Structure 1
């Protein structure tokens, strides 16, 4: 009974043997080669345009957030005179 249930699950959910003609190529060696080469570029930017956009957005939000914190601290340190 259990074998039948497992066979049904394998047939419904698929798995490595579900589509033998649809094998994916292992891309890890190519990615390792690209990320390990010494071209002077930081590792967090070697992923392409997406990494660059994410890095710049993060840096922009960090600068804006830091500026806002400094503004609020100055505002609290120098209260308005009544």
Structure 2
């Protein structure tokens, strides 16, 4: 009885093993070539349109956040009189 349970545990462990090779190719060399080529772009924009979109979104949030902080500082420094 225990022999069957032990055998089942062994099979279950083997099927979920993480040592199996994945079918993913290594793309590091092509990314290195892309980021090291001299095309006049800053490194944070060399990834393509997705990088440009993330950069613009980050800049917009930064400008909005700075404006909001300055607005709240102004309200804290000059509170409304009742």
TM-score in terms of structure 2 length: 0.72
Higher mean displacement: 46-55 or 61-70? 46-55
- Alignment partner, residue 9 of structure 1: 13
- Listed one character per residue, the Cα deviations across residues 28-61 of structure 1 (whole Å, up to 9, x for unaligned) are 1111011011212111111111111111111111
Q: Deviations along 1:13-35, whole A, 9 cap, x unmatched?
A: 4611xxxxx84432211110110
Aligned 1:1-82 pairs, distance under 5 A:
5=10, 8-13=12-17, 15-16=20-21, 23-82=23-82
User: Paired residues, what number?
Assistant: 75
Instruction: Describe the SS at the equivalent of 1:55.
Output: helix
Gaps of 5+ in 1: 17-21
- In the superposition, the TM-score normalised over structure 1's length comes to 0.72
Partner Cα distance (1:36, 1:55) in 2: 20
Q: Which 4+ stretches in 1 moved above 6 angstroms?
A: none
How far apart in 1 are the matches of 2:81 and 2:24? Answer: 70
Cα distance between partner residues in 2 of 1:11 and 1:80: 68
